[in-house]
A and B are shown apart, each in its own frame.
Chain A
């Protein structure tokens, strides 16, 4: 691509500079319609231009109302591409990053079937808790947010609706999702903040939380499986109180468990010593599952330190390899993320200091009035030059901040890694359950055998022993059922892991390539622009060089 020498008059450059700054400012606020596209980071990407030139077929059919802007612009050099599309990239938040030439159906629902699910979180309002539930006197007030949804997914009955939710509801949603979708890479919810109620009321805190909630819900909406979940639908659509089961408070569960515990520990005959099949599909939680927790803990200790290998192990070598790779990836990503932060800090310092140079030079160029005329001329030139330099620096600022946003994608991936770790933890837990059940089965089996052996020696059988054997056989059956449930669950989670991993790989591939390309194009265009302005300045001052 030829480099268009964009040497306008100084005024034109100034006005361009102003429009650059303006656009940058006006488009930082959340645009509710902007971000349904799963491949789009919330930053501008100028490669939309390259794509109109290179690959018109891959233009997304994103239902973005502002995409028409791009059709008005000619395909120019990198420099212009970067800067014009800054104007529009900001306006439109148009986000087709990468020429996914096959608008692949797995992750971009938007481009394949025209479906969308857009969420916005706005309007935080204070609300009072009427029921005196809180222990803190004077507390009991909380903040609700207006959560608005636009969608055309068939699962939802309707296209536009909104509800009010508080942060606790979000926590509930997140908990239910992680129970129901074990093995999936579920985005992590924003942190609970353990701060005083005073701080909770502060505007900045509320605003940060609002932004975080919006990001979280949007990420959920991007996940191909979770966006269709009942839990999410209920959260987004059902008015009034959130009808999801809250995590029962620990106290009652403790009591529950404590009541059952003596029976479990001492009453061998209780059939419910076996693990209920339906419970097997959940990881062991505190309280009621105390016994189960103990068993699984014992199993994991045996796995780690016992001599015998457990009966079922993680066999999938591919999985193990992938996991190791992901761990390495996470380490390096953290490193790179840190470097990016350092880099942008230093860049900022650079700019701050660069700004001061032209001002100082102007001062120096001042001269006594009756001196050589050449000195006076320099003064005027100097002003012109200084203005140019200021323009350069303004541009640099814009680029730097856009780079920062781009790099945010990198930082976001760190969050994704956490979700991956959670999914892997689900898998390990399920495996542990299977292993526990298997060893219990073998345990029961050996006891039955022993009893049978002993009973067979006595003629006519030992009444109590026979009864015992019967009971044990019953327990074994139940445990067998539980085991097959657990195995099924484990396989299911494994399958989920695999699919998610593929999805992640694809997304990561696309995301990162887009990020890289955008970054590189940005830098190239900006550097060219800078070079042209500096060359102008050098030309204007070349008079000094010649006479030297």
Chain B
């Protein structure tokens, strides 16, 4: 079970990872855990490194267990590579970079990030396609130097292969020509089902954003309430002190209880943050990742269409050349064949994406239900726990009050 693979710092109820097979079975398994955040370096260059522990029986991997040190940028590298290679699949999302300097090293932030990274890698490890990826293997096994080299290669525009660059130029070209020719609308699929899906995704993004905002506010309110209760408790204790006697005692007790409850509230606020708000944030990111895939699909579709058009034009040219029996005909035929091959590639790519996306949507829906359900369950559990704690606290105070008032 995943829970046994979780890090020591993880605690219960973190971000939801997909299920996995128990490691003792003979069926293939690959489980990963991200643990032990440690601050490295100094000053501006400081960063956090994580220990990544892999347990597997995949044949491609070096051994049953491997431990490596990775940092956030390595995870980003992995994600980018997967995004490039596996178009059509919803790549699991990464936690955001921290925009505010001073929170980069706060304990809470580090813990949240660690959990999110753990979930990220595990989701990849459990995806039946993604787990086969070479890049994943490199990520999980390569020593630091290899990793660093790979990482620095991939950053920036220098990483793009010439064909990619050509593609970028062509994109720009077609966009420009579109505009010039007055074809403003980019070529899009007209699949009604797909339209519905896109609309759903965009709506979901909004709703999740709203829900996450509210969850955040809820956490904040819990904290505020806790703090206010603490101050209230202090004030009441002071009142008791100057009252004296039984009544003073009563006030003191009330104050003490208030302070105790304040602590409970703070704890619950933290629990809410981890188990309710974080999953929602995670899904917001997931939806954004899906949008990326949607963009890729649109790209692929456009490429296919463009190639189809180019082929048509080429055919016309070729026939012209055939008629006048020019020497250019052979070259033209070559180009034509090449174009046809490209077009087939493009079509295949597009169809792969479509097929994958359809599967992914189903998987996503299931997982969303699961994860949201769990988040909600944790929320309810936490609130029940809090309420019970509050009830007990007050109940225990009553007999004391009774005896004090009688005296």
Judge whether B391 and A531 touch: CB under 8 Å.
yes
Judge whether A375 and B384 touch: CB under 8 Å.
no
Residues 202-219 (chain B) with a chain A CB within 8 angstroms: 204, 207-208, 210-211, 214-215, 217-218
Q: Does A98 contact B (CB under 8 A)?
A: yes
Judge whether B239 and A534 touch: CB under 8 Å.
no
Given contacts A363-B207, A368-B361, A543-B373, 16 further A-B contacts (CB under 8 A): A101-B406, A346-B225, A361-B376, A364-B207, A367-B365, A368-B365, A374-B366, A375-B368, A508-B247, A513-B404, A517-B398, A521-B398, A527-B388, A530-B384, A544-B373, A548-B374
Contacts A535-B384, A544-B377; is A527 near B390 (CB within 8 Å)? yes
Q: Does A547 contact B (CB under 8 A)?
A: yes
Q: Does B155 contact A (CB under 8 A)?
A: no
Interface string of A500-514 (1 = CB under 8 A from B): 000000001100110
Say how far B319's CB is from chain A's closest CB, in angstroms.
46
Q: Does B387 contact A (CB under 8 A)?
A: yes
Judge whether A335 and B239 touch: CB under 8 Å.
yes
Q: A78 contacts which chain B residues (CB < 8 A)?
A: 395
Interface size on B, residues (CB 8 A): 66
Q: Does B242 contact A (CB under 8 A)?
A: yes
Q: A547 contacts which chain B residues (CB < 8 A)?
A: 19, 370
A531 to B215, CA, bound (A): 20
Q: A361 contacts which chain B residues (CB < 8 A)?
A: 211, 372, 376
Q: Does A537 contact B (CB under 8 A)?
A: yes
Contacts A346-B224, A357-B215, A513-B247; is A339 near B370 (CB within 8 Å)? no
Q: Does A333 contact B (CB under 8 A)?
A: yes
Q: Does B243 contact A (CB under 8 A)?
A: yes
Judge whether B387 and A329 touch: CB under 8 Å.
no
Q: Does B179 contact A (CB under 8 A)?
A: no
What residues of chain A have their CB less than 8 Å away from a CB belonging to chain B? 78, 98-99, 101, 325, 328-329, 331-333, 335-336, 338-340, 342-343, 346-347, 349-350, 353-354, 356-357, 360-361, 363-365, 367-368, 371-372, 374-375, 378, 385, 508-509, 512-513, 516-517, 519-521, 523-525, 527-528, 530-531, 534-535, 537-538, 541-545, 547-548
Q: Which of A350, A516, A537 contacts B250 (CB 8 A)?
A: A516
Q: B365 contacts which chain A residues (CB < 8 A)?
A: 367-368, 371-372, 375
Q: A335 contacts which chain B residues (CB < 8 A)?
A: 235, 238-239
Say how far B220's CB is from chain A's closest CB, in angstroms.
8
Judge whether A325 and B242 touch: CB under 8 Å.
yes
Q: Does B306 contact A (CB under 8 A)?
A: no
A452 to B325, CA, bound (A): 159
Instruction: Enumerate 10 A-B pairs (CB-CB under 8 Å) in ascending A order.
Output: A328-B242, A336-B239, A368-B361, A374-B366, A512-B247, A520-B254, A520-B394, A521-B394, A537-B384, A545-B377
Q: B377 contacts which chain A residues (CB < 8 A)?
A: 538, 541-542, 544-545
Q: Which of B210, B243, B368, B369 has the most CB of A within 10 A?
A: B369
Q: Which of B37-45, B58-66, B226-234 lies at the binding interface? A: B226-234
Judge whether B228 and A346 touch: CB under 8 Å.
yes
In the complex formed, the residue of B with least CB distance to A513 is B405
Q: A328 contacts which chain B residues (CB < 8 A)?
A: 242
Q: Does B197 contact A (CB under 8 A)?
A: yes
Say how far B225's CB is from chain A's closest CB, in angstroms.
6
A349 to B370, CA, bound (A): 31
A371 to B228, CA, bound (A): 46
Say how far A434's CB is from chain B's closest CB, in angstroms.
31
Say how far B324's CB is from chain A's closest CB, in angstroms.
55
Q: A523 contacts which chain B residues (CB < 8 A)?
A: 390-391, 394
Q: Which of B204, B236, B395 contacts A524 (CB 8 A)?
A: B395
Contacts A325-B244, A372-B366, A513-B405; is A349 near B221 (CB within 8 Å)? yes
In the complex formed, the residue of B with least CB distance to A335 is B235
Q: A368 contacts which chain B residues (CB < 8 A)?
A: 196-197, 200, 361, 365
A99 to B405, CA, bound (A): 9
Contacts A346-B221, A361-B211, A544-B370; is A333 near B384 (CB within 8 Å)? no
Say how far A367's CB is from chain B's closest CB, in angstroms.
6
A357 to B375, CA, bound (A): 13
A516 to B222, CA, bound (A): 24
Judge whether B221 and A353 touch: CB under 8 Å.
yes
Judge whether B214 and A356 touch: CB under 8 Å.
yes
A521 to B397, CA, bound (A): 9
CB within 8 Å: A-B pair count: 193
Q: B254 contacts which chain A residues (CB < 8 A)?
A: 516, 519-520
Contacts A332-B235, A357-B218; is A350 near B225 (CB within 8 Å)? yes
Contacts A372-B366, A542-B377; is A530 near B214 (CB within 8 Å)? no
A525 to B391, CA, bound (A): 7
In the complex formed, the residue of B with least CB distance to A382 is B376
Q: B368 contacts which chain A residues (CB < 8 A)?
A: 375
Q: Does B381 contact A (CB under 8 A)?
A: yes
A538 to B251, CA, bound (A): 35
Judge whether B242 and A329 touch: CB under 8 Å.
yes
Say how far A535's CB is from chain B's closest CB, in angstroms.
5
Q: Does B401 contact A (CB under 8 A)?
A: yes
Q: Which of B2, B241, B369, B401 contacts A517 (CB 8 A)?
A: B401
In the complex formed, the residue of A with least CB distance to B234 is A339
A5 to B200, CA, bound (A): 41
A528 to B368, CA, bound (A): 32
Q: Which of A325, A339, A347, A385 contacts B235 (CB 8 A)?
A: A339
Q: B401 contacts which chain A residues (CB < 8 A)?
A: 513, 516-517, 520
Judge whether A339 and B231 touch: CB under 8 Å.
yes
Judge whether A528 and B391 touch: CB under 8 Å.
yes
Q: A374 contacts which chain B residues (CB < 8 A)?
A: 366, 369
Q: Which of B197, B373, B390, B404 contacts A378 (CB 8 A)?
A: B373
Q: B229 contacts which chain A residues (CB < 8 A)?
A: 343
In the complex formed, the residue of A with least CB distance to B253 is A516
A338 to B239, CA, bound (A): 13
In the complex formed, the residue of A with least CB distance to B261 is A523
Judge whether A548 and B16 touch: CB under 8 Å.
yes
Q: B231 contacts which chain A residues (CB < 8 A)?
A: 339, 342
Q: Does B295 contact A (CB under 8 A)?
A: no
Contacts A372-B362, A520-B254; is A98 near B405 (CB within 8 Å)? yes
Q: Does B383 contact A (CB under 8 A)?
A: yes
Q: A541 contacts which chain B residues (CB < 8 A)?
A: 373-374, 376-377, 380
In the complex formed, the residue of B with least CB distance to A537 is B380
Judge whether B405 and A371 touch: CB under 8 Å.
no
Judge whether A378 and B369 touch: CB under 8 Å.
yes
Contacts A78-B395, A346-B224, A521-B398; is A534 near B218 (CB within 8 Å)? no
Judge whether B242 and A332 touch: CB under 8 Å.
yes
Judge whether A364 and B221 touch: CB under 8 Å.
no
Contacts A332-B235, A520-B254; is A354 near B221 (CB within 8 Å)? yes
A374 to B372, CA, bound (A): 12
A328 to B361, CA, bound (A): 68
Q: B395 contacts which chain A residues (CB < 8 A)?
A: 78, 524
Q: B242 contacts which chain A residues (CB < 8 A)?
A: 325, 328-329, 331-332
A191 to B303, CA, bound (A): 81
Contacts A371-B362, A538-B381; is A531 near B388 (CB within 8 Å)? yes
